Each structure stands twice: as structure tokens, then as C-alpha cells.
Amino acid sequence: MNNVILKNTLKVQRAKKDLTQQQLADLVYVTRKTINTVEKGKYVPSTMLALKLAKTLDVTVEELFILHEI
């Protein structure tokens, strides 16, 4: 479990809901920059934000964030 990276399907799930980064950011009360950095994998969100994102996008946290073994 040491060599694992966190990937996310945020962009795909966001597209399914037809939401822009700004619209999603407004729904979970963060800035667009935060959504952008999470989407690019540069920032790992807190449990709270991950749950908020999952709830807003009607998916489970596991569907949104996936651990990939290298």
C-alpha cells in the first residue's frame, strides 16, 4: 500500500451533471481554483469536502476518488 496515488473522476462526474467548475464550486462553497486543483490531482481535499462533492454529484466517495497502485 506504500506506492499508491489518489486519482479522481471529478471532471467526468461534473460533465455528467453538466456543471462548470464555477457552478460546482458555488454548490460546495469553495473557490473555482480549489475545484480545479482537486480535478488536476494537485490537491487532496479534506474528508468534509470529498463528502460534499460526492453528495452534490450524486455519487459515492469511492466513485469519485480512487486509489491507484503504481
Partner 1 sequence: MISNVENLTIRRRKMLIGFSFGFSFSLIGVFLSRISSTSIVLSNYRPIFLLSALFGWIFWLYNLVRILNYQKKIKKDPKLSETLNDEYIQLLRLKSFNIAFWIILISQGFIYITNMFYKLSVEFVILLNILIAVLAVILSFIILDREK
By the criterion CB under 8 A, which residues form the site for partner 1? 22, 25-26, 29-34, 36-37, 40, 42-43, 45-46, 48-49
CB of 37 to partner 1, least distance (A): 6
Task: Quote the least distance from Cβ 58 to partner 1, whole Å.
Answer: 22
Residue 18 Cα distances to 22, 24, 28, 47, 56, angstroms: 12, 10, 16, 24, 12
Cβ 69 to partner 1 shortest distance, Å: 26
Nearer to partner 1 by C-beta: 31 or 60? 31
Which residues is 7 bridged to in the sheet?
66
Cell readout for 48 is: 468534509
- Nearer Cβ to partner 1 (18/70): 18
